[in-house]
Amino acid sequence: MLVLITETPEEGSRIAGRLVAQAIKQTPALRLGLAAGNTPIGLYQNLVDLHRTTRLDFAHVRLFSLDEFIGLPSDSPNSYHRFFHQHLLDHVNFDPAHLHLLNGQAEQDIVSYCVSYERLIRNQGGIDLQILGIGQNGHLGFNEPGSSLNSRTRRSLLSASTKYNLARAFDSESVPEWAVTMGLGAIREAQTLLLLALGAHKAEIVAKALEGPLSAFIPASSIQLHPSVVLVLDRHAAGSLNNQDYYLQQSSQVMENNHWFLEPSFMQVAQTGLPAKP
């Protein structure tokens, strides 16, 4: 596990964006899992900026989504379908044939739909890099506390705390009761996980997920089971970590030596550790 701590949220978003950009440059047909929510907006803005300034090419990138609200039409301002178009897709040269977003209004029954979505991912070769955020109650995707650590893609009932936090963004619409989400077991099948957490309000749950016991009641703690994880945190989100000094040491090594632009890629570094200084 590689933990990078930055001074500001803006720097965290910039570094996370550069990491994703590096992965795309090294693997043009990257299979990329997208996450919605406030936290990754800055990451996507950085990808858009890199597309405009460096011609970062999305033409062959295959895109998948982590979750979606059930019952919202895709053109709803609160749907994640709309979110991804607003913050990323409308501004880059992606191929619509390579876009696979979860559908909250699937015509087939939800169980069959979820099975077919996982089959689609497997048939595409699996997800190379999955972007993640973390909810204040520890949810990953919409895997709420109590979700099985080996759960699969399914319909999930949103918790009261999640609905409360979402209500601020839902102006005229009611927050849906249900969502469809990739399960914790399905998420861990990605080759590498990139989790971004920013702000003091995430500090307590980040510490529980990263350094606390593995627990179904802290769904994000399931990342401890994955062999290749990168966490990008700002100072405030990292504020409750007991091992913060070591993570800052890791961060210094990466940032001073620009390891995310070198071989091995940051996805390999997350699994095997930082290469020695020459």
| Catalytic entry in 143, 144, 234, 236 | 144
pLDDT tens sequence across 183-195: 999 999 999 999 9
| Catalytic entry in 85, 118, 137, 259 | 137
Is the peptide bond preceding residue 264 cis, with omega within 30 degrees of 0? yes
Place of tokens 């062959």: 60
Domain 2-272 sits in CATH 3.40.50.300: no
Task: Over range 230-246, report the average pLDDT.
Answer: 96
If pLDDT is split at 50, 70 and 90, which confidence band does 266 have?
low
Task: Over range 20-44, report the average pLDDT.
Answer: 96
Helix (H), strand (E), coil (C) string for the chain: CEEEEECCHHHHHHHHHHHHHHHHHHCCCCEEEECCCCCCHHHHHHHHHHHHHHCCCCCCCEEEECEEECCCCCCCCCCHHHHHHHHCHHHCCCCHHHEECCCCCCCCCHHHHHHHHHHHHHHCCCCCEEEECCCCCCCECCECCCCCCCCCCEEEECCHHHHHHHHCCCCCCCCCCEEEECCHHHHCCCCEEEEEECCHHHHHHHHHHHHCCCCCCCHHHHHHHCCCEEEEEECCCCCCCCCHHHHHHHHHHHHHHCHHHCCCCHHHHHHHCCCCCC
pLDDT tens sequence across 142-198: 999 999 999 999 999 999 999 999 998 887 678 999 999 999 999 999 999 999 999
Q: What pLDDT, on a 0 to 100 scale, did the predictor assign at position 278?
A: 44
Residues in the chain: 278
Active site residue 242: no
Residue 55 has pLDDT above 90, yes or no: yes
Q: What pLDDT, on a 0 to 100 scale, did the predictor assign at position 173?
A: 74
Q: Domain ranges in the chain?
A: 2-272
Active site residue 67: yes
Active site residue 139: yes
Active site residue 144: yes
Q: What pLDDT, on a 0 to 100 scale, did the predictor assign at position 268?
A: 60
Percent of the chain with pLDDT over 90: 84
Q: pTM of the prediction?
A: 0.93
